[in-house]
Amino acid sequence: MKLEIKLTRSLIGRKPNQVKTAHALGLRKMNQVVVKESNDAIIGMIKTISHLVSINEIE
Protein backbone atom coordinates (compact mmCIF):
# COMPACT_ATOMS: atom_id res chain seq x y z
CA MET A 1 0.00 0.00 0.00
CA LYS A 2 1.22 3.49 -0.82
CA LEU A 3 0.61 6.71 1.09
CA GLU A 4 0.14 10.14 -0.47
CA ILE A 5 1.54 12.66 2.01
CA LYS A 6 0.77 16.37 1.63
CA LEU A 7 2.37 19.14 3.68
CA THR A 8 -0.62 21.28 4.73
CA ARG A 9 0.96 23.52 7.37
CA SER A 10 4.13 25.59 7.32
CA LEU A 11 7.44 24.41 8.77
CA ILE A 12 8.32 27.93 9.92
CA GLY A 13 8.84 28.06 13.69
CA ARG A 14 8.60 24.28 14.16
CA LYS A 15 10.97 22.24 16.26
CA PRO A 16 14.14 21.19 14.42
CA ASN A 17 13.30 17.47 14.59
CA GLN A 18 9.94 18.14 12.90
CA VAL A 19 11.55 20.15 10.10
CA LYS A 20 14.19 17.44 9.56
CA THR A 21 11.51 14.74 9.49
CA ALA A 22 9.52 16.63 6.85
CA HIS A 23 12.66 17.13 4.76
CA ALA A 24 13.52 13.44 5.08
CA LEU A 25 10.10 12.60 3.65
CA GLY A 26 10.81 14.95 0.73
CA LEU A 27 8.47 17.72 1.88
CA ARG A 28 9.97 21.18 1.61
CA LYS A 29 7.17 23.50 0.42
CA MET A 30 3.57 23.84 1.53
CA ASN A 31 1.03 21.81 -0.45
CA GLN A 32 3.82 19.62 -1.83
CA VAL A 33 2.76 15.99 -2.27
CA VAL A 34 4.96 12.89 -2.13
CA VAL A 35 4.01 9.23 -2.52
CA LYS A 36 5.79 6.75 -0.25
CA GLU A 37 5.47 3.01 0.32
CA SER A 38 3.88 2.29 3.69
CA ASN A 39 6.27 0.74 6.23
CA ASP A 40 7.04 1.14 9.92
CA ALA A 41 9.70 3.82 9.38
CA ILE A 42 7.46 6.01 7.22
CA ILE A 43 4.50 5.60 9.60
CA GLY A 44 6.72 6.68 12.52
CA MET A 45 7.85 9.76 10.59
CA ILE A 46 4.24 10.64 9.80
CA LYS A 47 3.29 10.35 13.48
CA THR A 48 6.05 12.84 14.34
CA ILE A 49 4.57 15.48 12.03
CA SER A 50 0.93 14.32 11.93
CA HIS A 51 -0.30 17.83 12.80
CA LEU A 52 1.45 19.25 9.71
CA VAL A 53 0.42 16.76 7.02
CA SER A 54 -2.62 15.09 5.49
CA ILE A 55 -2.51 11.45 4.40
CA ASN A 56 -4.38 9.52 1.69
CA GLU A 57 -4.03 5.82 0.99
CA ILE A 58 -3.43 4.76 -2.60
CA GLU A 59 -4.07 1.20 -3.76
Question: Does 59 have pLDDT greater than 90?
Answer: no
Q: What is the DSSP string of 16-39?
A: HHHHHHHHHTT--STT-EEEEE--
Q: Tens digits of per-residue pLDDT, 1-52? A: 999 999 999 999 999 999 999 999 999 999 999 999 999 999 999 999 999 9
Report domain extents, the chain: 2-58
Fold of 2-58: Ribosomal Protein L30; Chain: A, (3.30.1390)
